[in-house]
A and B are shown apart, each in its own frame.
Chain A
Amino acid sequence: MRKLALSLEDHNTFYITYDSFRTEGNNADVYRFENIGTNLIRMLHAFLLTFVVFFRERPEVVISTGSEIAIPAFFVGRLFNCELIFVESVSRVNSRSGTGRIVYYLSDLFLVQWESLLDLYGPKARYEGSIL
């Protein structure tokens, strides 16, 4: 995400993330969630927290590089009529990520960083360069 932060410089940005996050954005607020993993209760909790955050922040665009924290953001983002942008990890070369497979259907813009993934995901997937 940090490598893509250049593209966010001119925009008001807030983050939902797990780790402590260093950002250079001048309007960056960071909301920190507990690691979800595959825990259903934490996922449901994350849905609730995401809803509260989105209700307060009213984002217009959601951008995520995953992983599972993107799922509540995309579902709630769809509720709030946000533009949903997913960027698949550069480490995904020949196989799709679990998160990618789920959010593919919700995304307005779905980006992969290797062309080998285009056929695996489907027509919505686009390759527009990578960070490596």
Chain B
Amino acid sequence: MIFTTVGTHNDGFPRLIRAMDEFASESDDDVIIQYGYTNIVPSNAIAFKFLHDEYFELLYQTADTVVAHGGAGTIIDVLSHQKPLVIVPRLAEHDEHIDNQQTDLADVLSGRSGIEVVYDVSELKFAIERLRSADATTWETNDSLSTFLASYLQNL
């Protein structure tokens, strides 16, 4: 199952939603789309605006691949579930965000295995395919910072 999320950011992201709706119509995969504040309702996939965390949790657990906007919270959630992730950063030029802040995090993560970054949505199906054929992600949970903080607090 391919799960697409655009988070709770208050701008729509029709460019991504349209592309994933089209992907859903051409693909054999189950596609589920969370479209947030986007004014398009997909017609080729199971779609919803928002959902409580507990249900989002189930979707992350069941997904084979996640396609997401570049929001930090979303990225953290997906990577905690160790799922292959396609990041599509929201861009100011399309009124998807107030600026291009999402590109910073996406670009610095783009080298990692299990992560693809797509700027041109026509590349989406290729990115999804690449992740599928790369098999499991080698991304490990990073608790370097909590570990450091825990010992710093102990030593205070």
Task: Tell me whether A7 and B142 are in contact (CB under 8 A).
Answer: no
Decide: B76 and A7 in contact? CB cutoff 8 A.
Answer: no
**Using Cβ atoms and an 8 Å threshold, which residues of chain A touch B107?**
93
Contact flag A132-B146 (CB < 8 Å), given A11-B153, A83-B156, A91-B101: no
A85: B residues at CB distance < 8 A? 149, 152
> How many residues of A are counted as interface, with CB atoms below 8 angstroms from the partner's CB atoms?
31
Query: Interface extent on B, as a size class?
Result: 20 to 34
| 8 Å CB contact of B75 from A4, A61, A129, A132 | A132
Q: In terms of DSSP, what is the predominant structure of the interface of chain A? A: loop
Given contacts A11-B153, A129-B142, A132-B79, contact A93 B105 (CB under 8 A): yes
Check B72–A91 contact: CB distance below 8 A: yes
Q: Which of A27-35, A41-49, A73-81, A106-114 contacts B (4 or more CB under 8 A)?
A: A106-114
Query: Which 5 pairs of residues, A with B, have the shortest CB-CB distance?
Result: A129-B144, A91-B72, A7-B150, A7-B149, A93-B104
Known: A60-B156, A87-B149, A131-B146. 13 other contacts (CB 8 A): A3-B145, A6-B150, A10-B154, A11-B153, A85-B152, A90-B76, A92-B104, A95-B104, A114-B108, A128-B148, A129-B142, A129-B148, A132-B75
Using a CB–CB cutoff of 8 Å, the interface residues on chain A facing chain B are 3-8, 10-11, 22, 60-61, 63, 83, 85, 87, 89-95, 109, 111, 113-114, 128-132
Q: Please list the residues of chain B having a beta carbon within 8 angstroms of any beta carbon in chain A.
A: 53, 72, 75-76, 79-80, 101, 104-105, 107-109, 142-150, 152-154, 156
